[in-house]
Amino acid sequence: MSLKVDTFFTRFPVLSTQRLRLRQLLPADAADLFVIKSDLEVTKHYGQEPHKSIRDTLGWIERLQVSYRKREDFAWCVTFKDKDKLIGACTLWNLDPGYHHGEIGYELHPAYHRQGLMTEAVSAILNFAFTQLGLHRVEATPFAGNPSSNNLLLRLGFTYEGCLRERHYFRRRFLDQTYFGLLREEWAANCRS
C-alpha cells in the first residue's frame, strides 16, 4: 500500500460538493439511516430485507467501521453542507489489495430523489477514488430492475459491461444484476469535456 493511500485510512476523507458534505458514517447516524434501511422500497433495489430495528442499522455501521479499520472500504454519510443530518450513504468497497479497483454503492432517502444529489455525491467519490486513492477502475452492480441506478451510472460515464444473469437470490427468486465499469482515463476525459 502506498503512503498516499495509507493517509486516508488514518484520517477519514471528508468530501464536499456544491450542496453536500460527505463525512464518515458514524453510530450517531443510525437513527437517520434506519429510516432508509427500513424502507421496503429502498432495500428491494439492493437485495436486502429492511432493517427491523436501529440495532440492525448500528450493527451494519459497526461492520463498515471494522472494514475501514482493516483498510477494505470507505463508508460516507451524505448530508447537506448547512445541516449535518444524514440523507443518504455511499460506500467505496470491495477494494482490491493493490488498490487498483473497487466498487461503489449508494442509497438516498426517497424524499431527496430526483434532485441530482446522488449524482453530486457519487461524482465526489469517483473524483476521490481516481485522483486521490489512485484507483484504475470503479465498478457497480445494481439490479437490472433498478433503472434509476443504471441511469445514474450511465450519466456519470460508466460503461454497461453486461448482465450477470440470475446472480442474486432474493425473496425466493433469482435476480439479474447489471455490471458497469468506469476507468480512470474515462473519468478524466469526462471531467475535461
CATH number for the domain harbouring residue 55: 3.40.630.30
Q: Residue 1: its pLDDT value, please?
A: 45
Cβ(188)–Cβ(130) below 8 Å:
yes
Distances from the Cα of 35 to the Cα of 24, 42, 105, 190, angstroms: 18, 10, 18, 34
Q: Residue 116: its pLDDT value, please?
A: 96
DSSP one-letter string for 79-111: EETTEEEEEEEEEEE---TTSSEEEEEEEE-GG
Q: Residue 146: its pLDDT value, please?
A: 86
pLDDT, tens digit, for every residue of 98-137? 889 999 999 999 999 999 999 999 999 999 999 999 999 9
Give pLDDT tens digits along the chain (193 positions): 454 677 888 899 999 999 999 999 999 999 999 999 998 888 877 778 889 999 999 999 999 999 999 999 999 999 999 999 999 999 999 998 788 999 999 999 999 999 999 999 999 999 999 999 999 999 999 988 888 999 999 999 999 999 999 988 888 889 899 999 999 999 999 888 7
Number of domains in the chain: 1
Q: Which structural domain range is residue 171 located in?
A: 3-192
